[in-house]
Structure 1
Amino acid sequence: MAGSRMTRILGRWLGVTGYMIQYGCIAHCTLEFVADFVVCKGPSMEPTIYSEDVILTEHITPRLNRIRRGDIIIARSPSNPRQHICKRVTGLEGDKVKNGFATYIVPRGHVWLEGDNTRNSTDSRAFGAVPSGLIRGRAVCRVWPLSELALLTTSHKWEIER
């Protein structure tokens, strides 16, 4: 009698553990390959995104190479691989980009990134074009603070300019 009770308890614990592992795997795959939340730090994207804002990013667009001019992206920093940066795509491969008096052509497989706060942003103007492979996700919306909940859609300015 005690043995069958112990077997039932053990069976329940194993069942719960199995569900926890399944849901953990689903959560991991969702956050790694579909979408996740990012806390942005620093003033480089002000006034669009402020430091400590939480944004929802999706990972499908970069994997399909569908990044467009004007998209806000999260990428691994080309100057510090342990850090991620949040910038706007201002140039795609083949685009001519002006940086001061110089004009650059964005190489194949690269993008040109700039912060919206041009006076306080370390971006492609400092480190050059960024390989598209460093892009982790595309910002979809700001979710925190709740009072500033908003979609982060591509600005028409970027579509018209080029």
Structure 2
Amino acid sequence: MLRSLLGKTLGFVGYTVQYGCIAHCTFEYVGEFVICSGPSMEPTIVNQDIVFSERMSRHLCKIQTGDIVIAKSPFDPNMNLCKRVIGLEGDKICTSGPSDVFKSHTYVPKGHVWLEGDNLRNSTDSRSYGPVPYALIRGRVCLKLWPLHSFGTLSESPTRRITETHHDSD
């Protein structure tokens, strides 16, 4: 009886470890569900929207200008950001403060991206903390799941903030 109980327990532990490994690999390399909070991506993504963030684009270096990404905060590794990619390495970015008083141009350095929220007046983003290392990107948001009435792919930037790009080959 003890042998049978031990066998069942070890079998259960084995299945638990296997399914845990499968779940971990799925969330790490395929994608994950994310509940977004805060106003920085309004009106595209509002507080408590649920999105699906796929990881394959990040691993294949296929993140493009205009994509919405989930990234680790450059200042708090326990916090994730949801922002739009405005510029890739080598791109020239025209930046402005929250009051739109000053404007300057900056080039995105190698291995970095420029991230901004769609709600420019209520977003802490690259305008505050500068270019973000590509390695901090966790995934590309490809689908809004909740609320159901807005289910589907995400729209382009409502601010049409994506402007001039400049690459070394130009």
Instruction: Report the TM range for the smaller structure's normalisation.
Output: 0.7 to 0.9
Aligned partner of 2:38 in structure 1 is: 42
Give the partner amino acid of 2:117.
G
Whole-Å Cα distance in 2 between the matches of residues 127 and 25 of structure 1? 36
Q: What root-mean-square deviation, in Å, do the aligned CA atoms of Structure 1 and Structure 2 show?
A: 2.1
Matched, 1:20 2:16: yes
Report the 3-state secondary structure (helix = DSSP H, G, I; strand = E; otherwise coil) of the residue aligned with 2:38: coil
Whole-Å Cα distance in 1 between the matches of residues 104 and 161 of structure 2? 20
Asked if structure 2 preserves the Cα contact closer than 8 Å seen for 1:93 and 1:111, the reply is yes
Q: Please give the TM-score of this superposition, normalised by the length of structure 2.
A: 0.83
Structure 2 alignment gaps of length 5 or more: 97-102, 166-170
Q: Aligned pair count?
A: 157
Structure 1 alignment gaps of length 5 or more: none
Asked if structure 1 preserves the Cα contact closer than 8 Å seen for 2:84 and 2:115, the reply is yes
Give the partner amino acid of 2:81.
I
Structure with bigger gyration radius: 1
The Cα of 1:29 is off from its aligned counterpart by 1.4
Whole-Å Cα distance in 1 between the matches of residues 92 and 43 of structure 2? 26
Give the fraction of aligned pairs with identical amino acids, expressed as a percent.
Answer: 52
Give the partner amino acid of 2:151.
L
Pick the structure with more helix per residue.
Answer: 1
Q: Please give the TM-score of this superposition, normalised by the length of structure 1.
A: 0.87
Asked if structure 2 preserves the Cα contact closer than 8 Å seen for 1:115 and 1:122, the reply is yes
Deviations 1:91-112 (A, max 9, x none): 1111110013210011111111
